[in-house]
Chain A
Amino acid sequence: MSETPSGAPERIVVVGASLAGLSAAQALRTEGFAGSLTLVGDERHAPYDRPPLSKQVLRGLFSPDTTLPRHPDLNAEFRLGTPANRLDLDARTVSLGDGTTLPYDRLLIATGTRARPWPKSDEATLDGVFTLRTRDDAEKLSARLKAGPRRVVLVGGGFIGFEVASTCRDLDIPVTVLVRDGQPLEAALGPRLGGLVGEIAIERGVDLRLGAEIEQMDSEGGRLTGVTLKDGERIEADIVVAAIGTVRNVEWLEGSGLAADEGGVLCDGYCRVLRTNGDIVPDVFAAGDVARWPNPHQDEALVAVEHWGNACAQAKAAARNMLAGPAAGLTRHDHLPDFWSQQFGLTIKLVGLADGADSLSIVHGSLEARRFVALYGKDGRTVAAASIDSARWLPAYAAAIRERAPFPPITDAVDQPRLRIEEP
């Protein structure tokens, strides 16, 4: 089968109307695509921004309407509140939940993820048990926080959980965070900095429990009243927020022949999706949280990066490649992963992938001052940099990470403490 599709596309369908889908649509127009452009979304909302949901929206600052700005010349058709439920690669069609079928010349899969539901379904449906992923989730949770709950219990040691905990403290709501394994944020930042964020949370009044797990949720008349931990302790609470990760939205691709499973939709470095037999599908692309691709910054390991910055960058790369004719070169998606989190009045940033790092060094500021840049090394190379409230130094280190510079890359610098190489 040819690896380049024939002819310039006239109809492009984007399945998934969130950040990646909208970014791709805008990029398609910027790149000069003048044909018909359709975005399919299962939610009833126009594409909106999610990061503010766990922070200012929950807290009630500014407007809860985080609809993403759309260029006046976008000229796209939005099919909202209608999930896609089937892909036919041979017929080049997508079937929607409302029974309609959309033909395409190029397709972008950007269906993202959803919040992982609480595993016990009888508990998950209790009044007072929440997950937080969508605008509707945030609206419901926000209303309940306003009512002044006795206590909120957050399950999970990730960024969303800690951002919600920070918001609860801003609202002066008692909050307990349960982290089952290791330190908070350990997957992203490693135990050392994750531990620091845990300390900061404790200082701001969060009741942080490491190694803690819920044995059962207690309820009265369908309403949550508290949780009982594995060690037998009971915590009175009106709200549980389960921030225990995400599930990729790939079910609609079942039977399509694409290599898609709970790990994501497999694609190549050019965002072209693969069949289960490894063949490239030249007219179907993937981007954002749902995509899994060989990452040049991690020795071509197959990864899915569930970050805002990757969604935008991968969408742009996919858009460019969707329009590239047979002669034009394809654009490699080589975005260096990056993310930010705002919590407890601090901004945490990370560039690169700290996963698997074997060393850590503080290169500016100090952990005590809650203001620093920390570098991560792996096999003698610089692989990531994290900062708290020191973002203006990050571009220099991002360049070093891109170049796979020796670790640490800069050993004589202004405001640099004596460098010590530590465990991450």
Chain B
Amino acid sequence: MSCTTLFEQVLDPDNRANPYGLFAELRRQPVCRQEDGTYVVSTHAEIARLVSDPRISSEDLPDPQKFRWTGHPITDLFVRPIRAEIRRRHQPFIFRDPPDHDRLRGLVMRAFSPERVRRMREETEELTNELIEKFAGKARIDLVDDFSYPLPVTVICKLLGVPPEDEPQFQGWATQLATALEPNQRGDEETQAKNEQCFTEISEFLRDLIAKKRKEPQDDILTDLANGDDDTERMNDFDLIATAVLLLVAGHETTVNLITNSVLTLLRFPEHWQRLRDDPAIAPRLIEEMLRYEPPVQYRTRLAIADIPIAGVTIPKDAPVVLLLASGNRDPDRFPDPDRFDPDRPDNRHLGFGGGLHYCVGAPLARIEAEVALVALAKRLQNPRLVEDPPPYRPGASLRGPRHLCLAFDGIAGA
């Protein structure tokens, strides 16, 4: 099969449950031009090289009309009410290049401090156990709806400083915006209108919340970003809203998938579930292997701003570039026996959080959430089984994960 149409099949929801065979075929040609002019990069070495290549831009993404799976509707949505000039200048930092990217990311990193993130571990433990308590008396749960979904949105709300009474509202927006983020899921006009409505609502909500944080500063990320301190500038409202929405969406959907994919994988390989039960200290390496094996973000789109010779081809200036992270993670030239789930893999330099300048800002939080959640689930769920394998998936190819994950079990143990 020619690789020029393989990526189209990757996008096909029918292949969502297991795209890895397609990736293997794609890797036969590490950098492959698709019929629409997009270049798909599928091997570890080439992806690792391009994430640190200064000819790869995250700005000026290609026209979504022309390249239908590379558009970023969320960014369109941010800006629809705003003039084009403002639009260009206030994209969230994942769609910015240095020096703007570095400035905005630097401000976020300051607020997202190690101390603040560390404190979330205990909060996450409490939340996790509260959610598990609710399983009591049931024989079956949907892990997605009953656990993976509510956990990250509550954590990100606490971290940002969204009042508890507004959390349900926030969760609704997060769900809606996550579908809008999916590059190849632009949806019909009705969905688009809903997305836009949602973005307007959340922007207004955030604008008010920011004003409140300026009047009554609290110990949270929004307060820090809205006020700055002696050493740092404060973020303007446009950048701040874009950043907050980014943290909400990027910190939510991806973590839902990380937790769900992990439970799915561990129940497919129950010896690892048992190992985690017996020795929670293996959680960190298990999670890194999970990020390699079933990464929540399967690919990212960039733009070539100059001709880039790589792996025997030249990606031409202005071509969209799809970095197929999930395929690089299964590259046998980098990972021996790549389709084997092996937490003891040495030198596991996976691409699950991307790499280079845009390495996932939320990675430390995602690791804490996944570790706490998996350790608690393994400890407390008695004899869990998958009811349906493969489970139904959401249609998204980039942010890939099950829509539901139905589990049967024999009860829950104490915390």
Contacts and interface: CB of A to CB of B under 8 A. Distances in A.
Contacts of B317: 412
A414 B52 contact: no
A396 B53 CA distance: 5
A410 B306 contact: yes
A413 B305 contact: yes
Interface string A94-130: 0000000000000000000000000000000000000
Interface residues of B, number: 17
B137 interface: no
A56 interface: no
Contact of A395 (B49, B55, B56, B98): B49
A364 interface: yes
Nearest to A395: B52
B49 A364 contact: no
Contact of A412 (B97, B305, B357): B305
B311 to A, nearest CB: 12
A300 interface: no
Interface string B372-409: 00000000000000000000000000000000000000
Most B CB atoms within 10 A — which of A393, A394, A412, A414? A414
Given A392-B356, A392-B357, A414 B49 contact: no
Contacts of B59: 414
Interface string B86-99: 00000000000111
Contacts of B99: 365, 415
Contacts of A393: 52, 54
Contacts of A399: 49
A396 B49 contact: yes
A392 B306 CA distance: 19
B57 interface: yes
Interface string B307-329: 00000000001000000000000
A363 B98 CA distance: 13
A416 interface: yes
A414 B356 contact: no
A411 interface: yes
Contacts of A396: 49, 52-54
Q: Interface SS of chain B: helix, strand, loop or mixed?
A: loop
Given A392-B357, A396-B49, A364 B306 contact: no
Contacts of A416: 54
Contacts of A411: 306
Interface residues of A, number: 16
Interface in B338-373: 356-357
Interface in A371-402: 392-396, 399
A394 B52 CA distance: 8
A67 B207 CA distance: 53
A410 B52 contact: no
A392 B59 CA distance: 18
Contacts of B52: 392-396
A237 to B, nearest CB: 35
Contact of A364 (B54, B56, B305, B356): B54
Interface in B250-270: none
A410 B55 contact: yes
Nearest to B54: A413
Nearest to A366: B99
Contacts of B306: 410-413
A416 B306 CA distance: 12
A365 B98 CA distance: 9
Nearest to B355: A392
A416 B305 CA distance: 12
A31 to B, nearest CB: 14
A413 B49 contact: no
Contacts of A364: 54, 98
A411 B307 CA distance: 10
Interface string B72-105: 0000000000000000000000000111000000
B312 to A, nearest CB: 13
B233 to A, nearest CB: 16
3 nearest CB pairs, A to B:
A413-B54, A412-B306, A415-B98
Given A364-B54, A392-B356, 19 more contacts: A363-B54, A392-B52, A392-B357, A393-B54, A396-B49, A396-B52, A399-B49, A410-B54, A412-B55, A412-B317, A413-B54, A413-B305, A414-B54, A414-B55, A414-B57, A414-B97, A414-B98, A414-B305, A415-B54
26 contacts: A363-B54, A364-B54, A364-B98, A365-B99, A392-B52, A392-B357, A393-B52, A394-B52, A395-B49, A396-B52, A396-B53, A399-B49, A410-B54, A410-B55, A410-B306, A412-B55, A412-B305, A412-B317, A413-B305, A414-B54, A414-B57, A414-B59, A414-B97, A415-B98, A415-B99, A416-B54
